[in-house]
């Protein structure tokens, strides 16, 4: 069984406060992956409070985003509107990587591979892939770049981001599909 995990495909990261063109471009791929999933998809939601600007992250990235209860916090409409046989499960995470994967998957005995897509690489998708690696050291983990939004304002910056992310993921024994 392949377990699909969709990282932070929220309005603020795709079209809102931190809009990302590469995340927008990844939407059709992600929608098709969700539709093709035979099992419940796990979605993460970057989740902040109104005090975001007073947090360490808010001081380093002073753009209010993904404030719980706002439209920017919601999953994008293309995902929200899906009616799949697989269903879905939403995980609110307060930092880049979710730390309680065993709460969701237990020992993951019926999972052969975790597949990650989402945005914004190399922050949250990478953090969650590495957290999964630490939680499940003998499971196959794959990050599918075709379904990822990347940081960068130019094609050169995006390409650098991809190469750096691939290097770090591969060093953590995490497969990358390009």
Q: Which residues contact 27 (CB under 8 A, 6 or more apart)?
A: 9, 14, 76, 78
Helix (H) / strand (E) element for 54: namely none
pLDDT per position as a tens digit, 25-80 = 999 999 999 999 888 899 999 999 999 999 999 999 999 999 999 999 999 999 98
pLDDT per position as a tens digit, 141-168 = 999 999 999 999 899 999 999 999 999 9
Q: List the one residue out of 13, 34, 33 whose CA is nearest residue 23.
A: 13
- Round to whole Å and give the CA distance between 64 and 51: 9
Structural domain count, the chain: 1
Helices 124-135, 155-171: axis angle to 10 degrees equals 10
pLDDT per position as a tens digit, 114-146 = 999 999 999 999 999 999 999 999 999 999 999
pLDDT, residue 21, reads: 94
136: CATH: 3.40.50.850
- Round to whole Å and give the CA distance between 36 and 167: 28
- Round to whole Å and give the CA distance between 71 and 77: 10
User: Domain range spanning residue 115?
Assistant: 2-177
User: Dihedral of CA 130/35/42/90: which sign?
Assistant: positive
pLDDT per position as a tens digit, 77-89 = 999 888 665 668 8
What rounded mean pLDDT belongs to the chain?
95
pLDDT, residue 31, reads: 96
């Amino acid at each position: 069984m392949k377990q699909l995990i969709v990282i932070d495909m929220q309005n603020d990261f795709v079209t809102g406060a931190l809009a990302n063109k590469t995340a927008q471009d990844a939407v059709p791929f992600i929608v098709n992956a969700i539709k093709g999933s035979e099992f419940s998809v796990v979605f993460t939601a970057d989740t902040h409070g109104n005090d975001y600007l007073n947090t360490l992250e808010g001081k380093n990235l002073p753009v209010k985003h993904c404030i719980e209860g706002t439209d920017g916090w919601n999953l994008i409409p293309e995902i929200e509107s899906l009616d799949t046989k697989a269903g879905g499960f939403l995980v609110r995470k307060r930092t880049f990587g979710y730390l309680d994967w065993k709460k969701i998957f237990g020992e993951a005995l019926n999972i052969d591979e975790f597949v990650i897509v989402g945005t914004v690489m190399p922050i949250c998708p990478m953090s969650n892939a590495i957290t999964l690696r630490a939680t499940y050291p003998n499971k196959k983990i794959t990050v599918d770049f075709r379904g990822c939004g990347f940081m960068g304002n130019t094609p050169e910056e995006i390409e650098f981001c991809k190469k750096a992310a691939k290097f770090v993921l591969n060093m953590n024994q995490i497969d990358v599909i390009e």
